[in-house]
Amino acid sequence: MNTPDAVAFWDGVYADRPTDRDPRPNGRLAETVADLPPGDVLDLGCGNGGDALWLARRGWHVTAVDISAVAVDRLADLARSLGLGDRIAAERHDLHESFPSGRFDLICAHYLHTPFGLDRAMVLRVAAYALRLGGRLLVVDHGSTAPWSWNRDPDARYPTPQEVAADIDLDPAAWTVERADSPRRIATGPDGRTAEVTDHVLLIRRTG
């Protein structure tokens, strides 16, 4: 992986977007987490911070990480302006090289895709080991290409949740797959366009 290229790419992606003062959480997060008691959560690839802010408002203590310093700095500033600075720690990490410290009740990885080399299975395996007993790893991937996606490869293939779980290769005696499906939804892109997209949802709980 060429880290400077990856950093420059993602810094450029976020620098080209206006700061969103009220970013929305991902719907799959809200439907999965709404009834869970708050605890410590790690947001992998926090982007513009919609998930981190939503969780913090519900009492979670959030560690939010991204490879882009632009994204991380914006989230930190926004959290402070909203009075959530004590609940959100925004950190820059290249997950190919470093992983946040700590133990977590929930770890979220929403659309952790990149055009640069990243051993996702390794990252998600490390994440699973960072869970406390009873904690959950929520992985939500693209299952289709949206009209506004940066990846417009018509031959792109999206691994199923079952394939992602197999790649992570966790011991079933200690981790249990609670959900692995491919629901559809109507999504809204950065320019306001809407389209039906498919999500690949994987939820794993540490049980041993």
> pLDDT tens digits for 116-126?
888 999 999 99
Residues in the chain: 208
pLDDT grade, residue 154 (50/70/90)? Answer: low
Percent of the chain with pLDDT over 90: 71
What is the band of 152 on the pLDDT scale with cuts at 50, 70, 90?
Answer: low
pLDDT band at 151 (very low <50, low <70, confident <90, very high): low
Place of tokens 């809200």: 30
Task: Determine the Cα–Cα distance for residues 12 and 195; give it in Å rounded to an integer.
Answer: 25
- Structural domain including 61 reads 3-206
Closest CA to 128 of 179, 176, 180: 176
Domain with 134 in it: what CATH number?
Answer: 3.40.50.150
